Amino acid sequence: MQTVADILDGKGRAVWSVKPTDTVLDALRVMAEHDIGAVAVVDGEKLVGIFTERDYARKVVLIGRSSRDSAVKDIMVPKVIYVTPEQFVDDCMALMTEHRLRHLPVLEGKRLAGMISIGDLVKATIEDHEFTIRELHSYVTG
């Protein structure tokens, strides 16, 4: 079973972030530039929130707010659910399912070490299943 560290080793540990005082438009630009669905919100070195496409759709567009005039801190989710590099893919899938999340920041101690998505977890699960199938096939066919 793969861990979060295995996923980060494969995809890289780059994390795109914005400051709480940045505008929603700034956050959307970062997300569009890097083709990602969420950004970490950091104040200095500290993770203080997460901002996602879902937050934008529900807390800006639907209620008629302006992306240019709204600060990320007013839209972001401040209570961040996160994982550590040692956690297994199944644990992360359970967290995402239970809390209806699509992105999880990865913390090493208090340091932001990466971000994983539901797509990363699905890919890791498929790879694990393919490995098991190959091993079983090899065992059965000798």
Residue 23, pLDDT score: 97
pLDDT over 80 at 142, yes or no: no
Read off the pLDDT band of 1 (50, 70, 90).
confident
Query: Residue 5: which residues within 8 A CB-CB, separation 6 or more?
Result: 85, 86
Of the chain, the percentage scoring pLDDT greater than 70 comes to 100
Residue 135, pLDDT score: 85
Q: Which residue has the higher pLDDT, 44 or 132?
A: 44
pLDDT in tens, 16-56: 999 999 999 999 999 999 999 999 999 998 999 999 999 99
